[in-house]
Chain A
Amino acid sequence: AQTVTQSQPEMSVQEAETVTLSCTYDTSESDYYLFWYKQPPSRQMILVIRQEAYKQQNATENRFSVNFQKAAKSFSLKISDSQLGDAAMYFCAYIPGNTPLVFGKGTRLSVIA
């Protein structure tokens, strides 16, 4: 079974500090796509960032960046200058081949003022 593991059920960060959320995955595919989704209390699923596995350069979106280690099958999310609005559930997910998104169990991020 193809799986995504988020080893940190809960994390907290001080406002304006940096936090890294961990994600590992298991796939036999050579070409796949990786994502981080944010789910605030409104429960809406919001795409934060995505990475194509064939690209060596790590994706960045403003304060959000990833550390993609293909050989280690690791895909961590770094949030810089954390803001109160970053508090949410964060899900790591990937598309293995031609099938739908596979999600991890999520990390609940709290931001402390």
Chain B
Amino acid sequence: NAGVTQTPKFQVLKTGQSMTLQCAQDMNHEYMSWYRQDPGMGLRLIHYSVGAGITDQGEVPNGYNVSRSTTEDFPLRLLSAAPSQTSVYFCASSLQGGARAYTFGSGTRLTVV
């Protein structure tokens, strides 16, 4: 049971480049979310999904796109990278309902130069 798998673990981009952060889970979790972590800011929600075909914006969605074509995958796309998007990105998943505990991926450290 792999849990939540994020790739890549590290990435350096140039300003204006695009890329996709991958997230996959094998626990049949309905809920999936993307967070970014910046020093002194905690984890802030970018986008989330409550099931295949359903996505919604979080607190800081600008500059990011998501889609959820399958239960397992929830990729995060940076359309035109900016230095302000330098951060650590976490994907998380959970079952629906109750005191659901989230399972987190190991994170992606992204640097935009």
Give A contacts to B, CB under 8 Å. Answer: 4, 6, 9, 33, 35, 43-45, 47, 50, 52, 91, 93, 95, 98-106
Contact = CB atoms under 8 A, between A and B. Distances in A.
Nearest to A9: B40
A102 B45 contact: yes
B64 interface: no
Interface residues of chain B: helix, strand, loop or mixed (majority): strand
B104 A45 contact: yes
Contact of A104 (B35, B42, B90): B42
A101 B101 CA distance: 10
A100 B42 contact: no
Q: How large is the interface on B (under 10, 10 to 19, 20 to 34, 35 or more residues)?
A: 20 to 34
B99 A44 contact: no
Contacts of A95: 100
B42 A101 contact: no
B41 interface: yes
Contacts of A102: 45
Contact of A43 (B50, B58, B106): B106
A100 B88 contact: no
A37 B77 CA distance: 27
B25 interface: no
Nearest to B49: A100
Contacts of B41: 105
B41 to A, nearest CB: 6
A101 B40 contact: no
Q: Which 7 A-B pairs have the closest CB atoms?
A: A45-B104, A105-B42, A103-B43, A103-B42, A100-B33, A33-B99, A100-B48
Contacts of B45: 100-102
B99 A106 contact: no
Contacts of A52: 99
A43 B42 contact: no
B44 interface: yes
